[in-house]
Structure 1
Amino acid sequence: MISFRDFALRRGERLLLSNVDLALHAGWRVGVVGRNGTGKSSLFAAVRGEVEADRGDLDVPNRVRIASIAQEMPSLPDPAIDFVLSGDAAVHAALQNEANAFANEDWEAVAEAHHRLEELGGYDAAARAGRLLHGLGFPADTHQQPVSAFSGGWRVRLNLARALMTPSDLLLLDEPTNHLDLDAVLWLEQWLLKYSGTLLLISHDREFLDNVCTHTLHLHEGKARLYAGNYTAFERQRAEHLRQQQIAFEKEQTERAHLQKFIDRFRAKASKARQAQSRMKRLAKLAGTEAVRAEREFRIDFPQPLKLPHALLRLNDAQCGYGPQARILDNVGFGLEAGDRIGLLGPNGAGKSTLVKSLVGELPLLAGERYAHPDLRIGYFAQHTVESLVAGTSPIDHLREIAPNLPTQAFRDFLGKWYFPGDRAFESIDGFSGGERARLALALIAWRQPNVLLLDEPTNHLDLDMREALAEALSDFDGAIVLVSHDRHLIGLVSDLYWRVADGIVKPFDGDLDEYAAWLRTRAGGSEGKPSAREPAKPAPVGAAPAKAAKPAKINPHKLAKTEARVAELEARLAEIERALADPDAYADGGARASELGREQQALRDELERAEQELLTLYDSA
């Protein structure tokens, strides 16, 4: 599928990769890993043909169809489902041609469009696009909203859905789990396991890499090395490789010393000159094995709280939401004591962020009581925290806003511990990567020495090493922690208890993450990632009032079966019409019969769309 021969790649003056020789075969799912800045995204750009090799060859067969996540953030008037559908350019064009032909009553063009759609299997394209949106967390009533109405994170999801919709032999996914909730990550994992093409995946989520990848490509110090197996297998193999390399280095150094000693001692003696010369040749031929250099381990810490009372924060009989008509959570009894480590689980849109905002006090309770200890000090990382950093300012500027009277050296000492050493502390954050900005946001929280950490998706943009450092720092923290994260490795390491937020209820979850994933699959329809109707849809238009939350209700099996039967009946009738329209005899009477079929087809499509939305609503209300 893809081969590299003596491949080298530069970005500007910097040599990212050199002497790369390897082949990636069709059907492999390859995790591309390495610290930030090692060239992972640049390698993707080279595979797409956007940058040229500095040396050597990168061969991708011309016939290979490549799909990847677009980097731009679209702001379009098109409905979300149409934007996703346009990922299949051929089907989208055929559907447009069909619509135009009907509008112009050009029956020959209608027939051609139907033939083309039949060839492409395009009649179920809208349903496939809807399933992608649903799996990635978009409630059914948002599928017709314009792309411009969604926030940045939800547009990233739309770009991902569009990439998955694109027919491809090679799929390039760069950090696809950023901006996803845990249930959407689980859904995407299952989708990728069924993908029949070749996958190249950049991710800092080790559980995701472990569950999806068959091979791992490690970029390190300008080299690329391919390992068979997932991320855990790669770590074992790399550790063994480094151990063997160090053994070989030490053995070679011993032999070098022995040869050099003989040469120094005997090369001046005529009787030993030939032997000395032989050893000099042998010394020159030694491989020159490099010593293993220990990588610098990231280490961060949250300073211990100034005060740590036992009972820190509690909600009693609380109703949480965005107004009387948008009540999300009922009868919440949730408390935090020193040392608590709680992971919040729950389907997309069920109210996890609503609960966190209510604990912070950012969202006033609709009813009930919020008790906070007088010495409570909260460190809050929200999903928008990184975006709230002030453009054009430096890390030290941000700290000076918090503590204007402290000397600059105190700021420098603190920032050095968070890997902003020397002049980096004075640089504008405009040039920082997403990972550096996230690290700065966490550092600003740590500076305040909180006794409660409320962290809502803190790992977006953090690489694997920094995620490990964050997990260790949180494990050493003496205060209380509430964590929402799609990173199962992090939430599993940090959390001692899990609470599930679903169907308007917050209650302890007696199980592990595998049992939670199984619980998600048992929800209505047996599909992971069904969003709840309880919380106002996150991708609602900017500035729109939250929709009234639905009351928890049991699904009506009779109504569900009836709706499913109606959908099947409509799909069958549409298939009959499509076959009839593909028959040249339908146009023998000057197009009258085709016109009649076209009108019936459009009416059936409208009815099918309504029936599918009703079916999704029934699933969502379970």
Structure 2
Amino acid sequence: MANCGEFIRSQFPLIDDELMKYVKDILDSSAGEFEDTEEVYEAVGEVLQGISEKSEDDIREICEKLLHMLQPEKCGTANGLRKVLDAPIHLASMTTNHNETDDLKSIWLQTRDDNLKVDAKKLEKAEAKLQQKQQKQKEAKMPTAAPVLQTATASQVTSKKDSKLEAKGNNRTQDIRIENLDIAYGDRVLLQGADLILACGRRYGLVGRNGLGKTTLLRMIYSKQLKIPSHISILHVEQEVVGDDTLALQSVLECDTVRENLLKREKEITAAISNGSADVSLSTELSEVYAQLENIEADKAPAKASIILSGLGFTPEMQQRATRTFSGGWRMRLALARALFSKPDLLLLDEPTNMLDIKAIIWLENYLQNWPTTLLVVSHDRNFLDTVPTDILHLHSQRIDAYKGNYEQFYKTKTERLRNQQREYEAQQQHRAHTQEFIDRFRYNANRASSVQSKIKMLDRLPELKPVEKELEVVLRFPDAEPLSPPILQINEVSFYYTKDKIIFSNVNLGATLESRICIVGDNGAGKTTLLKIIMGILSPTVGMRSVHRGLKFGYFSQHHVDQLEMNVNSVELLQKTYPGKSIEEYRRQLGSFGVSGDLALQTIASLSGGQKSRVAFAQMCMGNPNFLVLDEPTNHLDIETIEALGKAINKFTGGVILVSHDERLLRVVCKEFWVCGNGSVTNIEGGFDEYRRIVERELEAQNKS
């Protein structure tokens, strides 16, 4: 460890003694347990990055060197190389050139029979057989390569008129009409004969159960696999911004290609004139460039970009940082900021609230209410869907139904429509039964023959109504928790910091019981996940005490849990690997309690939707029968019905729950206590979510005024 300490000091000369001790303690306690560089980075990478300006790649390289120091056996011999023998060696022959007194001569080497030498040809055959056997075993255990995922295919009907206009370049409509649309994912049909009509300037919320094809539909629109007018610009916020040396603010400004090209041309002309160019046309062109820049209000662009970044949580200091210094979540925010700034004709957003804290969500809701072009957003946030969309598109039963109004109006209209359809169906069934009874009764009565024939014809002419297709109710069931006598969980006078000038929080005094339903809220980076890790004992507090009941068992659902699942196995195999020794029926029963049943449990994890992966992650978490749940952003991939089922399951759970979430509806249903992280402390607020929302709205008002 001395070498590690010297190495860390050489890389981070300004590191203080307490932080050095903290890092060394972590490395010392887990020295033999690290499997790879990634685990070293997870243990100390964030701490080291917080005390320097080094990039994430630099920190990972340092972590790799630390792993080599801690576990030199993983790096070969002292010179870093492993000698692999590719032929048999007869040790006796190595001593023939030495004297009898030579140290290399040994007793067993002297008396070894030369007949015992390994035959090279036999050894080669044996090794070939062994390799063949090992290869067969490997192939039997797992696939030789990751499964090739099926791709979606689409078809649609386009009118000859639209095709001619498109071919001539005369199509100027801003509305999008995709009619008689079919989408299949392998053998599975997602949409059949569906219509998608998006009117210019309307804001559409696309809703539906997990796995029905909402994300697939957005991707096919963006990739132009579905034909829409070529002059309509589309932007799909799905991939995070690539990290490089471009400043965050400049990254947003670069989206306006017209402005960027004009500024570039302005510099070129100015440089040419400064260098004494005699071209008279340059002055004229420069005047035209200035006029165009003034026309598009180019001077106001930096302020507009800064407002968007600020609303999404970027401080003035963060706006001047290189994009490579941000984590994946912040780069996704940058991608959203770029989309909002560039204002495409059609903006596609897939779960935009997943990456945002409550303050940023409220800002985004307000910003999108004045969105000037067409918006199509997939979201499962009820409050967001009540605030932003002017229309709701409901994807179900391989079709898309359009409704005017927000989600609340859609839900009322849909419920009433289904109720009326069911009444109409039941009335027709009664009418059919009554008519059929008359026909059966008088079928062979000659006096009633004409009436019977009339009734038969009437039945044939009746339209055949189908019963209302009811979507299966989603039910989630957490296991019964083992009861414990208090005290259960307590943290006293706890402080945590990576460096003394970077305190996350201090003097925190909080407690929880098996009846607790606690929500931790606060801005991104305020320390919510850090607090969770201290509560569970993953991190040790810098100052203060954490005490827990010895029988307490945590079930932790991290916000990255879904991405960390093994993708090449099915759900049953995943549980078998995590909790071996149980029957297949027990694994399937566990998955079934979270809605993963039938053939779904036998599909590879990679082929499941985000919401289905979340359910598998819940099943995996609960297989250990925890009595205290710690849930970090559990709703990120869940549909509305599953979020409601999650709320009911949490309320029925007999253990304690601590929750980090931005889903307003879930928080109102579940949480009785709110812990707010921010300004270097954690406070317990009275008044629940309504009070926290008022606090956030006041902060946004003050921010807008400044």
TM over 0.5: yes
Aligned to 1:52: 226
Aligned to 1:16: 190
Output the CA distance in 2 between the equivalents of 1:258 and 1:497: 59
Which structure has more relative contact order (CA 8 Å, sep 6+)? It is: 1
Alignment of 1:297-308 (within 5 A): 297-308=473-484
Aligned to 1:173, which of 319, 334, 349?
A: 349
Q: Is the 8 A contact 1:347 1:520 kept in 2?
A: no
What secondary structure is seen at the aligned counterpart in 2 of 1:454? strand
Q: Structure 2 vs 1, CA of residues 93 and 360 (structure 1 numbering), >3 Å: closer, same or farther?
A: farther
Aligned to 2:209, which of 3, 10, 35?
A: 35
Q: CA deviation at 1:46?
A: 5.3
Larger radius of gyration: 2
Q: Structure 2 vs 1, CA of residues 452 and 100 (structure 1 numbering), >3 Å: closer, same or farther?
A: farther
Output the CA distance in 2 between the equivalents of 1:373 and 1:432: 38
What secondary structure is seen at the aligned counterpart in 2 of 1:469? helix
Amino acid at match of 2:215: S
TM-score computed with the length of structure 1 as normaliser: 0.78
Aligned to 2:144: none
Q: CA deviation at 1:120?
A: 1.6
- 1:539-569 residue CA offsets vs partner (Å, 9 max, x unmatched): xxxxxxxxxxxxxxxxxxxxxxxxx9xxxxx
Aligned to 2:641: 465
Aligned to 2:579, which of 403, 427, 451?
A: 403
Aligned to 2:609: 433
Q: CA deviation at 1:331?
A: 0.8
Q: CA deviation at 1:204?
A: 0.7
Aligned to 1:68: 236
Aligned to 1:283, which of 459, 464, 468?
A: 459
Q: Is the 8 A contact 1:323 1:366 kept in 2?
A: no
Q: Structure 2 vs 1, CA of residues 245 and 457 (structure 1 numbering), >3 Å: closer, same or farther?
A: same
Q: CA deviation at 1:376?
A: 1.7
Amino acid at match of 1:160: L
Query: Bigger CA drift: 19-28 or 430-439?
Result: 19-28
Q: Is the 8 A contact 2:238 2:350 kept in 1?
A: no
Aligned to 2:518, which of 328, 342, 348?
A: 342
Q: Is the 8 A contact 1:64 1:169 kept in 2?
A: yes
Amino acid at match of 2:248: A
Alignment of 1:501-516 (within 5 A): 501-516=677-692
Output the CA distance in 2 between the equivalents of 1:6 and 1:279: 39
Alignment partner of 1:84 is 2:252:
yes
Q: Structure 2 vs 1, CA of residues 452 and 415 (structure 1 numbering), >3 Å: closer, same or farther?
A: same
Q: Identity percentage over the alignment?
A: 38
Alignment partner of 1:25 is 2:199:
yes
Amino acid at match of 1:297: E
Q: CA deviation at 1:69?
A: 1.4
Aligned to 1:450, which of 620, 623, 626?
A: 626
What secondary structure is seen at the aligned counterpart in 2 of 1:327? strand
Amino acid at match of 1:88: D
What secondary structure is seen at the aligned counterpart in 2 of 1:295? coil
Aligned to 2:506, which of 330, 343, 346?
A: 330
Alignment of 1:102-117 (within 5 A): 102-105=270-273, 108=283, 110-117=286-293
Q: Structure 2 vs 1, CA of residues 323 and 395 (structure 1 numbering), >3 Å: closer, same or farther?
A: farther
Q: Is the 8 A contact 2:235 2:347 kept in 1?
A: yes
Q: Is the 8 A contact 1:8 1:16 kept in 2?
A: no
Q: Is the 8 A contact 2:388 2:406 kept in 1?
A: yes
Aligned to 1:96: 264
Query: Bigger CA drift: 467-476 or 118-127?
Result: 118-127
Q: CA deviation at 1:24?
A: 4.2
Q: CA deviation at 1:247?
A: 0.6
Q: Structure 2 vs 1, CA of residues 443 and 98 (structure 1 numbering), >3 Å: closer, same or farther?
A: farther
- 1:428-459 residue CA offsets vs partner (Å, 9 max, x unmatched): 32323222222222222211222222211111
Output the CA distance in 1 between the equivalents of 2:441 and 2:311: 75
Query: Bigger CA drift: 482-491 or 161-170?
Result: 161-170
Q: Is the 8 A contact 1:394 1:429 kept in 2?
A: yes
Aligned to 1:7: 180
Output the CA distance in 2 between the equivalents of 1:428 and 1:91: 47
Q: Structure 2 vs 1, CA of residues 428 and 70 (structure 1 numbering), >3 Å: closer, same or farther?
A: closer
Aligned to 1:384: 560
Aligned to 2:305, which of 97, 105, 129?
A: 129
Aligned to 2:669: 493
Output the CA distance in 2 between the equivalents of 1:51 and 1:437: 27
Q: Is the 8 A contact 2:518 2:659 kept in 1?
A: yes
Q: CA deviation at 1:346?
A: 1.9
Amino acid at match of 1:84: V
Output the CA distance in 2 between the equivalents of 1:486 and 1:146: 28
Aligned to 1:220: 396
Amino acid at match of 1:327: I
Q: Is the 8 A contact 2:262 2:289 kept in 1?
A: yes
Q: Is the 8 A contact 2:380 2:640 kept in 1?
A: yes
Aligned to 2:378, which of 192, 199, 202?
A: 202
Q: Which runs of 5+ in 1 are unaligned?
A: 54-59, 529-563, 565-618
- 1:140-180 residue CA offsets vs partner (Å, 9 max, x unmatched): 22223333333222222222111111123433222111121
Alignment partner of 1:518 is 2:694:
yes
Q: Structure 2 vs 1, CA of residues 43 and 281 (structure 1 numbering), >3 Å: closer, same or farther?
A: farther
Q: CA deviation at 1:525?
A: 5.8
Amino acid at match of 2:643: R
Q: Which runs of 5+ in 2 are unaligned?
A: 1-173, 275-281
Query: Bigger CA drift: 422-431 or 81-90?
Result: 422-431
Q: Is the 8 A contact 1:184 1:348 kept in 2?
A: no
What secondary structure is seen at the aligned counterpart in 2 of 1:309? coil
Alignment of 1:514-593 (within 5 A): 514-523=690-699, 526-527=702-703
Query: Bigger CA drift: 265-274 or 480-489?
Result: 265-274
Q: How many residue pairs are counted as aligned between the two chains? A: 524
Amino acid at match of 2:583: P
TM-score computed with the length of structure 2 as normaliser: 0.69
Output the CA distance in 2 between the equivalents of 1:280 and 1:457: 60
Q: Is the 8 A contact 1:35 1:465 kept in 2?
A: yes
Q: Is the 8 A contact 2:237 2:339 kept in 1?
A: yes
Q: Is the 8 A contact 1:214 1:228 kept in 2?
A: yes
- 1:417-437 residue CA offsets vs partner (Å, 9 max, x unmatched): 223334544543232322222
Amino acid at match of 1:521: E
Amino acid at match of 1:29: R
What secondary structure is seen at the aligned counterpart in 2 of 1:316? strand
Aligned to 2:111: none
Amino acid at match of 1:7: N
Q: CA deviation at 1:110?
A: 4.3
Output the CA distance in 1 between the equivalents of 2:603 and 2:181: 31
Amino acid at match of 1:28: R
- 1:388-423 residue CA offsets vs partner (Å, 9 max, x unmatched): 223434434443344333333322221222233345
What secondary structure is seen at the aligned counterpart in 1 of 2:182? strand
Q: How much is the aligned-residue C-alpha RMSD, in angstroms?
A: 2.7
Q: Is the 8 A contact 2:596 2:615 kept in 1?
A: no
Q: CA deviation at 1:234?
A: 1.4
Output the CA distance in 2 between the equivalents of 1:402 and 1:25: 49
